[in-house]
A and B are shown apart, each in its own frame.
Chain A
Amino acid sequence: MRRDETLADYLKQQGISRRGFLKFCAATASMMALPLGATEAIAKALSLAKRPSVIWLSFQECTGCTESLTRSSRPTLESLILDAISLDYHHTLQAASGSAAEEAREYAMQQNKGEYILIVDGSIPVKDDGIYSTIAGITNLQMLKDTAQHAAAIVSVGSCAAFGGIPHANPNPTGAVPVMDIIKDKPIINVPGCPPIPVVITGVLSHYLTYGTIPELDTLKRPLAFFGDTIHDRCYRRPFYDQGKFAKTFDDEGARKGWCLYELGCKGPTTHNACATAKWNGGTSFPIESGHPCLGCSEPDFWDAGGFYQPISTADFDVNKLATTAVVAGAAAGAAFGLYNRHKKSSAEHQHHKTSTDELKE
């Protein structure tokens, strides 16, 4: 697809009829959690949309986010969106490598100054001037700063780029930080999740393609369309939570009947994501539906928030150990103070000087 072509022209060339285009827009509306009535608006906007240049930088990451997005090698809605954008740089996916790849990136940055979208996955190490992760001899820190300078907007894909993720977890040996801690002067959209739901990533890109603006964000810069509700708010097992029907172990009667997983450590109530509605693998299922409690992977520092199997209402440390230690320490301290007080009392009695009438005369 040529850069000055619109998306509508591109699809027409692919032999897609107007009906097909409208079907595409309806699916996009559903993906963006917009009502079907928005299809017309999307169709109109996409008809005129030009193809934005996208630079994708992968830093300290496991590549799970790229995998999530591209897992399906067959043409899907997601891949169509990816075709519609011009992915000018992605060091995992692109054919070029070495200096040719870096030149391609710099060329794209120049050609589309002020207009390209920068997508980042992976956290950025900053300790020791950021030497713990480099590409082509350039530190991630430097590459981010350089590339962000003339970007229109930045999308931090995955919990690592959005919040620091697993490298940021205790003890954070590389000094990993999220994108928003480094870049302060550009609009940033956080799309967290470990990995994020593919349809959420493309939904955000679709929004930008359609409207040319950043979608409405929450205080952690996550798009409200996908991260506005908690898993708990949309969980199909909610009636069981309300009725007090909980699975106590992974294989008991309650678990087999699909009861609520609160007691097994589900973080659904405090986790904002679209897993309960958009689901995974093209709408097949999501962790809770498969019988595993939610890990809370789209929230900051979920790795350090106590155990995955610790219910939210419990302490996120070994409280039994602390209580036992405190009892022993308290007993010892109490006994020590008590005995000291007795000693003070008896020595005061000892030192008590009985006054005689002679002393009073003086």
Chain B
Amino acid sequence: MSAIELLSWARGPALQFSVAVFIVGILIRVLEIWILGRKKDLSEPKAAGFSAGMRTIFTRSLPPPGMLKYLISGYIFHIGFFVVLFFFVPHILFFKDVLGFAWFGLPNGLIDGITILSLASLLYTLSIRLSDPVRRMLSNFNDYFAWTVTFLPLLTGYLAFHRHITDYTLMLAIHILTVNLLLISFPFTKLTHAVTLFASRWYNGAIAGRKGVKV
């Protein structure tokens, strides 16, 4: 199979399958949790649960003591990934196709720099995970797998854009294949946190808040 045939397959049947698995998978997971619900708490609340939950979403975004470096690199990666995904012009064209509307893009040079920063911060967080004995002991296959399927699209996208490093058609095909892998893995791994984190933080804050405890 030549590079161009691989590319056609990657952005054709492979992408079809991946997008379907991504959307259906996430919806099933989210609805499953939500519809199951929780037993009604009949005790008298000491404080309002809802606002306490909203507060927790915010406080969980701040660094706990001693974790500043880790947190900054986490933010660099998350924000960087978001910016590269949603503000690089070729990506915007993809979303325009899906959603029916588009938005402004950022200059390629800026996206390029942000990609490098995101890759660096990912490598940094991995190095912390590996060097700290406690973290290393706690880490399992799912952790490394989730890290890898997130790292690869950024790396292959960067290589594809810089044509003098690799053959464009082949690298573009590989980039789209790594994106497909990320999409398929999403509902089955901890990557689902991207969708569930706010509800999760809110819930923790709400139940504690009802009891009068601020988290």
Residues of chain A having any CB pair with chain B under 8 Å: 219-220, 230, 232-233, 242, 244, 246, 262-263, 269-270, 299-301, 304-306, 310-317, 319-320, 322-323, 326-327, 329-331, 333-335, 337-339, 341-342, 345
- CA distance in complex: A219, B93 (Å): 31
20 chain-A/chain-B pairs, Cβ below 8 angstroms: A269-B169, A269-B172, A270-B7, A304-B8, A305-B8, A314-B93, A314-B94, A315-B97, A316-B12, A317-B12, A322-B20, A323-B19, A326-B23, A330-B24, A330-B31, A334-B35, A337-B31, A338-B32, A338-B34, A341-B32
A317 in contact with B16 given A219-B2, A306-B11 (CB within 8 Å):
yes
B198 within 8 A of A: no
Closest to B28 in A: A334
Report A-chain residues with C-beta under 8 Å of the C-beta of B31.
330-331, 334-335, 337-338
Closest 6 A-B residue pairs measured CB to CB? Answer: A338-B35, A334-B31, A330-B27, A313-B90, A326-B23, A330-B24
Closest to B163 in A: A233
What is the predominant secondary structure among interface residues of chain B facing chain A? helix
Task: Pick the contact of A322: B4, B16, B25, B91 (CB < 8 A).
Answer: B16
Report A-chain residues with C-beta under 8 Å of the C-beta of B65.
none
Tell whether, in the assembled complex, residue B24 and residue A333 are in contact, meaning their CB atoms are under 8 Å apart: yes
Tell whether, in the assembled complex, residue A244 and residue B94 are in contact, meaning their CB atoms are under 8 Å apart: no
Of residues 33 through 59 on chain B, the ones whose CB sits less than 8 Å from some CB of chain A are 33-37
B168 within 8 A of A: yes
- CA distance in complex: A233, B168 (Å): 10
Task: Pick the contact of B2: A300, A305, A331, A333 (CB < 8 A).
Answer: A300
Nearest CB of A to B164, in Å? 10
B15 within 8 A of A: yes
Closest to A318 in B: B97
Nearest CB of A to B135, in Å? 34
Nearest CB of A to B148, in Å? 23
Closest to A219 in B: B2
Nearest CB of B to A37, in Å? 27
Tell whether, in the assembled complex, residue B27 and residue A331 are in contact, meaning their CB atoms are under 8 Å apart: yes
Report A-chain residues with C-beta under 8 Å of the C-beta of B133.
none
Report A-chain residues with C-beta under 8 Å of the C-beta of B15.
315-317, 319
A270 in contact with B97 given A300-B5, A330-B26, A342-B37 (CB within 8 Å):
no
Report B-chain residues with C-beta under 8 Å of the C-beta of A330.
23-28, 31
Closest to B19 in A: A322
Q: Identify the stretch in B76-84, B100-108, B137-145 within 8 Å (CB) of chain A at 4 or more residues.
A: B100-108
B195 within 8 A of A: no
Report A-chain residues with C-beta under 8 Å of the C-beta of B26.
330
B98 within 8 A of A: yes
